[in-house]
Structure 1
Amino acid sequence: MKTSGIIVLLFLLSHYGWTQTGPDRSYQPIKGASYTQSKNVYLLSLIEALPEVRRIIESDTVLSKVSSSKISELAATLEDCGRDGACYPRPMPFTPEEMETIAGRLEKLAQNHPELLDLVAGHLVPSGMYQQQASSDPVEYLANAWRLDASTINHIIGVYAMGKAPNYPNIDSLGMDLGKYSYKANIQGLNELTYAQYQKSELFFEPSLGYAMDALAMARMERAGDFEPMTKHENEAAFRQAKRTKWEVYEYPLILIPGAGTDNYLDSISSGGVLRCKLAALEFEKGRAPFIMVSGGYVHPYKVQKNEAVEMKRYLRKLGVPESAIIIEPHARHTTTNMRNAARIMFRYGFPMDRPSVTVTTPAQSHFIENMLERCMRELGYHTYTNGKRISNTILEFNPSIMSLQIDRDEPLDP
């Protein structure tokens, strides 16, 4: 950084009062082009949505060359790839060199434009979505957030356009045979669509981001946006009830039921789901907690059409649990994210985070959760919770962590 840049940056930091703080409960994430997109790449969604920021990025000649280059390469595939299906998506991910060139340019722009520092201090920090990218230097924070979003785009294109294996192929794979004509026809169509939509785009990331989002849609895997905004739909009654709940009256704020997917396409709820709901309903009737959260998405079997959380909620209603006491978490695809997403909702809905809640589930899964912290670290890079006391074979305390707000770059169905 040149001396003049340092002086400008120091002025901006002092003038705009940058301080490194943590997630803010009062912060309301911006939806952006779609919930699926904003959950996966929040920084880029903010750039699209905030006019003053978008103007800065669009007018930069260095960055505009990135989008024009991507469009030129995309156009070339339509002329050159022919029947080679694997050829079409190759130019769309960001190369390591492109990622670093863009990171450097964003840092340079942030030194001279306070709007980009405001983006960091007013959105990235309070959202909690980039805690692992955090830096005491907001310029570096911005660049780190870009690197995460770029990695997310590359992962989506890799899996849902190029057919690479996702983390869990049995439930999250592309589902197309790369050797069949249908794949070539579809991927060529995706390139045509992207070119038609973004050939005149002035935002450097839009061709690749649009390509990634449409690849997810083509694969019917845009699940991250399901049921949103939940506070105005499935969770509205419970969200309103939480605002007036006297938490001190209850032993625990929440009973969490982790997901239990079916093993066929006929059952709406699995046998494990039935047992877990019954166990939790008993604890709710005892007054152990004012809310039950049911967690699980469209997971098992592959592309199942029943959502675990929704079906468990329906079953709890049959057991007499009131609508206002049930919160659905309909996105989790693993036990790790059952726990992570519960913490996210608790934070956003105003639940106490400084005292334990409980999981209520079958003994095998309860003990699995008790020993799952290493898996959380391996798959997510942090602990989504810490264990509390074991109450019984089916009831275990957990302490939710606000690190759970962090975006996961390689799970686009539930980032």
Structure 2
Amino acid sequence: MAQDATAKDYGQLVSGLQLHALQVAPQPDEDVFSAPIHYAMLMLDMNDRDDAIHFPMLWQEWNAQALHAARNLNWRHYAYTAIIVPGAGPEQAGVALSAMGKFRLMLAVEAFRKGLAPFILVSGGAVHPAQTRYVEAEEMRRALVTRFGIPERNVIMEPYARHTTTNLRNASRQLATLNAPQQQPALIITDQDQSAYIESQTFAQRNQKELGCEPGTLGKRISPFAIPFHPDARCNATDPRDPLDP
């Protein structure tokens, strides 16, 4: 939340929104959900949390070339469907891409140039620091194309995830959109600490608590930085409890 829920001004804001809602006469064709949905949208806007409606042309613009390439791709030429790179947002305002984010990209580019996968899938929303204007996936995509020379047709952007849990769940969704073979794994490439965390029981428990499912299963680690990942389509549904899930 952008607002301090304990502050007096926030209480006045909420009561003002409620008072305003009560004064607006319902329309004859208005259904029972219209008022609470409108109120929820106002609260999201007041807290600057409209992330779920950003990038409305994601597959028509940002990922269009990759989507087209996937339609004509022989997946069997690759060991993995995609290299998944979770974002690492900087904690300093005004910094677009953290040092750790650059390191993760370096590792991913090395794997891509070995021909391990046809795509690099970068995942991460506007997370760190609070109220940042930088979207992790957008900045990683820009670096892959402009600094590393990776063609746009080989880069997939996932700009909504806010934690490692949703990095993997949302990556699974995007692979499904690309119609990637379900029996073929992707490859998670990240720094050694996050990679170990992904293998941990703590992470598995957080998936169950926050997502209610596991976004996929892990294969045998191939390096300190890389773990095969088999997406589970059963975890791909939009979460109605999460207002930031598009």
Give me the TM-score of the superposition, normalised by structure 1: 0.56
In the alignment, does 2:142 pair up with 1:311?
A: no
What is the CA–CA distance in structure 2 between the aligned matches of 1:268 and 1:314, rounded to whole Å? Answer: 10
Shift of 1:193: 5.5
Is the Cα–Cα contact under 8 Å of residues 238 and 245 in structure 2 kept in the other structure?
Answer: no
Shift of 1:218: 2.0
**Counterpart AA for 2:3:** G
Per the alignment, do residues 193 and 240 of structure 1 end up closer, same or farther by CA in structure 2, a change over 3 Å counting?
farther
Name the SS for the 2:144 alignment partner. helix
Alignment of structure 1 residues 111-190 onto 2, 5 Å: 173-181=1-9, 183-185=11-13, 187-189=15-17
What is the CA–CA distance in structure 2 between the aligned matches of 1:280 and 1:334, rounded to whole Å? Answer: 19
Name the SS for the 2:121 alignment partner. strand
What is the CA–CA distance in structure 1 between the aligned matches of 2:161 and 2:85, rounded to whole Å? Answer: 12
| Alignment length (residue pairs) | 243
Identical aligned residues as a percent: 36
Q: Which structure has the highest helix share of the two?
A: 1
- Unaligned runs of 5+ residues in structure 1 are 1-172
**Counterpart AA for 1:325:** N
Shift of 1:389: 1.5
Is the Cα–Cα contact under 8 Å of residues 215 and 236 in structure 2 kept in the other structure?
Answer: no
1:345 to 174, 179, 195: 174
Per the alignment, do residues 194 and 213 of structure 1 end up closer, same or farther by CA in structure 2, a change over 3 Å counting?
farther
Shift of 1:179: 3.5
Is the Cα–Cα contact under 8 Å of residues 194 and 210 in structure 1 kept in the other structure?
Answer: no
Q: Larger Rg: 1 or 2? A: 1
**Counterpart AA for 1:388:** G
2:220 corresponds to: 389
Greater mean deviation of Cα atoms: 183-192 or 312-321: 183-192
Alignment of structure 1 residues 33-52 onto 2, 5 Å: none
Per the alignment, do residues 200 and 216 of structure 1 end up closer, same or farther by CA in structure 2, a change over 3 Å counting?
farther
Shift of 1:351: 1.3
Q: Output one character per residue of 1:109-163: Cα deviation in whole Å (capped at 9) or x when no partner.
A: xxxxxxxxxxxxxxxxxxxxxxxxxxxxxxxxxxxxxxxxxxxxxxxxxxxxxxx
Is the Cα–Cα contact under 8 Å of residues 97 and 140 in structure 2 kept in the other structure?
Answer: yes
Per the alignment, do residues 328 and 176 of structure 1 end up closer, same or farther by CA in structure 2, a change over 3 Å counting?
same
Per the alignment, do residues 360 and 204 of structure 1 end up closer, same or farther by CA in structure 2, a change over 3 Å counting?
same
Q: Output one character per residue of 1:292-336: Cα deviation in whole Å (capped at 9) or x when no partner.
A: 000000011111110000001111111111111000100000100
Q: What's the Cα RMSD here?
A: 1.9
Per the alignment, do residues 179 and 267 of structure 1 end up closer, same or farther by CA in structure 2, a change over 3 Å counting?
closer
- Unaligned runs of 5+ residues in structure 2 are none
